[in-house]
Structure 1
Amino acid sequence: MPRLFTALEIPPAVRDALAALRGGLPGARWVEPESYHVTLRFLGDIDDAMARDVAAELDGIDRPAFDLALDGLDAFGGRKPRAVFAAVAPNPALVELHAEHERLMRRIGLPAESRKFSPHVTLARLRDATSRQVADYLALRGGFRAGPFRVERFVLMSSRASVGGGPYVVEADYPLASPATAGAED
């Protein structure tokens, strides 16, 4: 059974800029550029019936497209760093889209997400990298910025069991409306 999550895709130009950051960090397992994404809501391993319910709920989302930017690099894990990521610049439209995903998934019976929403693009998963090595890497590349880029859809993705996540497959896509048509009656 695949693991499902909702996400925003990263456009090719931004993906290329992120890929240029690869290397220079011992113990890093770099995420493949085609796997870069911003997770909106992790759903986990769910059965086919729940997956159909998820798809139906997501299909009802009617939100406008918006612009998104990446603003700096950071690491998760503190003294035992476990991942390096590109942070997403604060964005109310993104927070609202995430909150709607959370509400809808709880309505159909999925448990609440246990982690605070911290939008980011994972660049590398770390194994045996010291906090000093990560700090040095971030000192050289931490000022990274990209975007803004237009977010015109979100996707339902699956991942197969593997080391470090991926490969990811888009199972369904859900367009966001142009600002003039968002919320308009059919």
Structure 2
Amino acid sequence: MPRLFTGLEIPAEIAERLSFFRGGLPGARWIEPSDYHVTLRFLGEVDDVLAADLDAGLAEARPRPPLTVTLDGLAAFGGDKPRALYASVVATPELIAVQEEHERIARRAGAEPERRKFTPHVTLARLNREATPEAVAHLLAQAGVFPRLSFTARRAALYSARTSRGGGPYLVEAAYPFVGGECGTGEDADG
């Protein structure tokens, strides 16, 4: 059974800038920059029927224009038991609308409702027990001011992941261009 999720691709120039934050944290399993993405809807392992219905639903999604995605800081999930280091993404109304649409499509395809609140982000590292809260706080303090990074997302993608403990590699199985979007990832970057 494929392990699937939908998301937005991160352009190479933004991924390169995010990669500067790699390193210096014991217990971190760093994500490869080529695997950076913004997850819209995680599905996990699904059967071929649900995968096909999801693909069909995404292909028929409401036309929408490309959207601006802005990354605005570094943070960690997990509090006293940190489990991931990430770059936060501004939750614009346009981004939330795309995510909500992916949720509706996933449910129509037969997926269980997502129980977690949508927190848009780009995972930079998965953390194990060696990554103490103090070490994570130190890394975040040492990172300094995070420069806002923006790009134009021109399509959503359906990704597959090999069975692993997370962190890729990820493969784009299908892409769903936004109106006026092209099949490539966003090329515009500033920050």
Q: CA RMSD in A?
A: 1.3
TM-score by length of structure 2 reads 0.90
Question: What is the DSSP-based 3-state SS (H/G/I as helix, E as strand, rest coil) of the residue aligned with 2:68?
Answer: strand
Distance 2:166 2:4 in 1: 15
Q: Which moved more, 1:170-179 or 1:70-79?
A: 170-179
Question: What is the DSSP-based 3-state SS (H/G/I as helix, E as strand, rest coil) of the residue aligned with 1:145?
Answer: coil
Query: In the TM superposition, what is the alpha-carbon distance from 1:72 to its structure 2 partner?
Result: 0.3
TM-score by length of structure 1 reads 0.92
Task: Give per-residue Cα distances to partners, 1:110-166, cap 9 Å, x unaligned.
Answer: 110011000100001111211000001011225323422111001000001123331
Task: Give per-residue Cα distances to partners, 1:47-82, cap 9 Å, x unaligned.
Answer: 111111000000111111111110000000000101
Q: Identify the residue that residue 83 of structure 2 maps to in structure 1.
A: 82
Q: Identify the residue that residue 39 of structure 1 maps to in structure 2.
A: 39
Query: In the TM superposition, what is the alpha-carbon distance from 1:4 to its structure 2 partner?
Result: 0.4
Q: Identify the residue that residue 185 of structure 2 maps to in structure 1.
A: none
The gaps in structure 2 that reach 5 residues or longer are 182-191
Are residues 164 and 103 of structure 1, via their aligned partners in 2, closer, same or farther at CA, if it must alter by over 3 Å? closer
Task: Give per-residue Cα distances to partners, 1:3-36, cap 9 Å, x unaligned.
Answer: 0000100001100001111011111111111110
Which of 130, 135, 143 is the aligned partner of 1:141?
A: 143
Check conservation: 1:21, 1:141, Cα contact below 8 A: yes
The gaps in structure 1 that reach 5 residues or longer are 180-186
Q: Which moved more, 1:94-103 or 1:162-171?
A: 162-171
Check conservation: 1:158, 1:169, Cα contact below 8 A: yes
- The percentage of aligned residue pairs carrying the same residue is 55
Distance 1:22 1:2 in 2: 29
Distance 1:66 1:162 in 2: 31
